[in-house]
Amino acid sequence: MEAMKSARKNDTEDVGSDLSEQIKAATKDSHVRAENTTLMLDYQKGKITLPQYKLLLCSLYEIYRALEEELDRNASHPAVAPIYFPQELARLQTLEKDLEHFFGSEWRQRVIVPAATVRYQERIRRIGAESPDLLVAHAYTRYLGDLSGGQVLGKITQRSLGLSSKDGLSFFSFPGLSSPHRFKQLFRSRINSIELTEGRREEMLREANTSFLLNIQVFDDLQKMLSVTTTEAEDQSEGDAVKSKNMFPSLPSMQFTVAVCVALTTVGLGFYAL
């Protein structure tokens, strides 16, 4: 274990003293793992479906609601202030707009997320209350990802879902930025300007990896959740066909519903202790 920690430390030292470069180096493996989850691989291949996209939007909404509320609350913190760009980066309103497009005006009542998403937003809330400087790690992971691969995913989403307009794709748009590339450079330079002790810098690198791990768990849970709901839909379809022959089909249906609840609970509890 100590050898692994030493090797990881040497890796970050090799890239220099810039915090943003150290985070990038320290999270390289985690980044690759996140990109290779089943959900993201399907996404990159253009196999994203409307149910998948809706579920993803729901989780992103809860994650960004926690992140941006905590950033707002800690905006004057010495570590948060340099990377606080609500006008340029805020995603919450764009997600609300997309959710309303797909679910209607009562969309808040229809938001459903797996337990991994709950763990993610609880982690952000706890960090915001106890260690606000570590919010930088989560902002780095989310916003830089949105400004990079997120732009490509927006085009893939429109093509895969056959959307004729940008309605439902607001999340991928950053109207407050004339050049996402230049802004990423600014964002990294602001991260590099944050003054941290060596100990807090190590904490920041660990938290950045935790952020990637939480994203991976969300992607995996969403994929499992979608599998369960697909099975439920197939079961319901079969049940409808049987109803004309059997006026009391409720017992198998009840057993399946219980199985679905158990499955979702199991999915959610898998990695609860972080």
Ligand-binding annotation for 64, yes or no, is no
Rounded-to-integer distance, Cα 251 and Cα 5, Å: 54
Ligand-binding annotation for 159, yes or no, is no
Q: Say which residues have a Cβ less than 8 Å from residue 215's Cβ, sequence separation at least 6.
A: 34, 120, 141
Burial 84-110 (b: 16+ CB within 10 A, else e): bbeebbbbbebbbbbbeeebeeebeee
Q: Of 123, 131, 134, 132, nearest to 75 (Cα)?
A: 132
Ligand-binding annotation for 224, yes or no, is no
Ligand-binding annotation for 188, yes or no, is yes
- Cβ contact 208:23 at 8 Å: yes
**Cα atoms in the 13 Å half-sphere on the side-chain side of 121:** 16
* Token pair for 11: 């890796």
- Cβ contact 6:187 at 8 Å: no
User: Which residue positions form the known binding site?
Assistant: 24, 31, 140, 188
Which residues contribute to the annotated binding site for heme b?
24, 31, 140, 188
